[in-house]
Amino acid sequence: MKLNPIFHSHMVFAAHQPIRFYGEGAGKAEITFAGQTQTVESAGGFWLAEFPPMGKGGPYTAEILLNGAPVTLTDVYLGEVYLMAGQSNMQFKLNESNTPQELWESEPRLRMFSTHRIEKTDRFTPEDGWVTAEKDDLADWSALGYLIGKERARSHDTPVGIITAYQGASAIESWLPAGILAANGISLPLDKRHVDHTHGIYGQWNGDGVLYQYALTQIFPFSLSAVVWYQGESDTTEAEGTIYHKELTLFIETLRKDFRQPDLPVAVIVIADFDPRNDDGWHLVQEAQKRVGETVPHTAAIPCADICEKDQIHPPTKTLLASRVATVLDTLL
């Protein structure tokens, strides 16, 4: 038996949500956490123990026996946990941004867990566990992940866990389960889709359901406080723009089902304006994102065109956007 890779020392659970420990293998797992003990048998090679919600606090220790083999997790906190997901503007590193160096600060309450990525270019991997925000290590953090997490930790005096699941040049179809779009009557031929779908490099992760299976299933059903989603640039043909609101709505519904949180808050960052793409396809995706924010419950669309550069597809100014997202999260939580 083994624990899911998300379970390491220094981790953060979402306060006021079910606390779930889970993993793979056959046999019996016994978990003791915060004075409570759960014993479960695996079923079909998967096991899960669920503890009732708790308020913010820590540090805690989790004592785990997997078929009698002990595992101890220390420095465990309860606070806010955010899935930071999407494509390159979420992946965009702090050292690629124009964030002033004086804002690169250690924050012991902020920890990050990185999911596996097909493109093996990230410094952090699941094997690193939950990495604490130390000034000397921040260069390779997601700029938005770090800046949003730091602001939440300080403005709310809370532990914050950031889970990253992103891939540059990724289409939303790849983040959905294979076959789900066709099953819901949503489909387009490849010649009507953005070139990233068939690009020599990007195409390897833009197949039907590829990133859903490779990145998201790693972490289901870990409880979250909210999801921050920044994606859409790779779905900006005019034909895609007309269906993107359906795809995004289905994506949010899928997340809520698989994380077992029917009211999981989702903050959708509306893609920035981009001067070379001042066309109908680009604007249709922006409008679709705004529409989802207005019509899907427990969802907010966050505009950024007024605070982001328009001449670069990766706007280097992330500080203002991070602050806006951190503020909007208060309306969702």
- Beta strands (DSSP E) in 115-150 are 131-133
Of 82, 178, 195, 144, residue with least CA distance to 316: 144
Give how far the C-alpha of residue 198 lies from the chain's centroid of Cα atoms, to the nearest Å. 25
Say whether both 21 and 86 belong to one domain.
Answer: no
At residue 309, the pLDDT reads: 96
Say whether both 182 and 230 belong to one domain.
Answer: yes
Say whether both 85 and 27 belong to one domain.
Answer: no
Where the chain has pLDDT below 70, the residues are none
At residue 228, the pLDDT reads: 98
> Which region holds residue 25: left if phi is over 0, alpha if psi is between -120 and 50, else beta?
left
Can you give the residue range of the structural domain that contains 234? 79-332
One-letter amino acid identity for 67? N
Say whether both 95 and 42 belong to one domain.
Answer: no
Say whether both 181 and 298 belong to one domain.
Answer: yes
CATH number of domain containing 195: 3.40.50.1110
Say whether both 72 and 84 belong to one domain.
Answer: no
Domain boundary among 77, 104, 123: 77
Say whether both 93 and 175 belong to one domain.
Answer: yes
CATH number of domain containing 44: 2.60.40
Say whether both 9 and 108 belong to one domain.
Answer: no
**Phi, psi (5° rounding) for residue 131?**
-95, 125
Say whether both 158 and 252 belong to one domain.
Answer: yes
Domain boundary among 43, 77, 111: 77
At residue 121, the pLDDT reads: 82
Domain boundary among 21, 46, 77: 77
At residue 122, the pLDDT reads: 86
Say whether both 279 and 161 belong to one domain.
Answer: yes
Please give the full DSSP string across 180-208, using - where no structure is assigned: HHHHTT----GGGS-GGGT-TTGGGG-ST
Contact 105, 154 (CB under 8 A): no
At residue 120, the pLDDT reads: 84
At residue 116, the pLDDT reads: 92
- Beta strands (DSSP E) in 34-106 are 36-41, 46-51, 57-66, 69-86
Which residues are CB-neighbours of 175 under 8 A, at least 6 positions away? 85, 211, 212, 215, 216, 231, 251
The number of distinct structural domains making up the chain is 2
Report d(CA 163, CA 84) in Å as an integer: 6
Say whether both 72 and 200 belong to one domain.
Answer: no
Say whether both 309 and 211 belong to one domain.
Answer: yes
